[in-house]
Amino acid sequence: MRIKKYIAEFLGTAILVLFGCGTAVFCGGLSGGTSNGTLGVVAIALAFGLSIVAGAYSIGHISGCHVNPAVSLAMFINGKLDIIDLIGYIVSQVAGAFAGSGLLLLITKETTMTGFGSNGYGDLSSVGISMTGAIIVEVILTFVFVLTILGVTSSEKYSSVAGIVIGLTLTFVHVIGIPLTGTSVNPARSLAPAVLEGGIALNQVWVFIVAPLAGAALAGIIFKFLFKPKEA
């Protein structure tokens, strides 16, 4: 049933945003973790990565645990999703991201912390990266992340370790990306926090929607025509 897949994607994305962005808020504050040195960045990166590991082994058998419109787009390009599921997945993921951000808001209101773990460039970047730089970074990071997903899910022989590989890959792209843009690689993860935060974050969010989708499309096309196993 399609509805079970959509519910799984909703829950998985909500968990990803709550734990990933929540860690960015509480462990990183406005600095995105860089004020806490390596520890802050690694903590945030692990929160996102481990959220994917948890999701992969809890809802992966239902929906594939995309929890990311960029991943779903690449799967569509490679014929693993039809257009109805592509739309259903993306709607569910965006709704889940808003649910996760809403839960984060409920928690932060009971603390002295503020923010939603939004992405950004310029003044919102720990290193002041430019808009062009942010686009390049997000295309590259998403390309690497999605290409890994396509590769490790292309054969049943990798199924037992796929969740771990994908989670670790998301962790490592966050390690370099957090100081630069906060690391998006996921339009849903970026949209919901930006809408709730408003201001500059909302004005900049288009970068973190367009660039990840472009990186995912590139990965999907390259994998389909160059790397896809013949038996897949």
Tens of pLDDT along 171-196? 999 999 999 999 999 999 999 999 99
Per-residue pLDDT band for 35 (boundaries 50, 70, 90) equals low
Is residue 48 within 8 A of residue 16, CB to CB? The reply is yes
| pTM metric for this prediction | 0.94
Average pLDDT across the chain, whole number: 93
Token pair of 9 as six digits: 């994607």
Region of 81 on the Ramachandran plot (φ > 0 left; ψ -120 to 50 alpha; else beta)? beta
Mean pLDDT (whole number) for 200-214: 98
Provide the token pair at 168.
Answer: 């670790």
Count other Cβ atoms within 10 Å, centred on residue 132: 10
Give me the percent of the chain exceeding a pLDDT of 90.
Answer: 84
Delimit the domains of the chain by residue range: 2-227
Its CATH architecture, for the domain 2-227, is: Up-down Bundle (1.20)
pLDDT value at residue 227: 81
**Whether the Cβ atoms of residue 102 and residue 10 lie closer than 8 Å to each other:** no
Predicted local confidence at residue 156, as pLDDT: 86
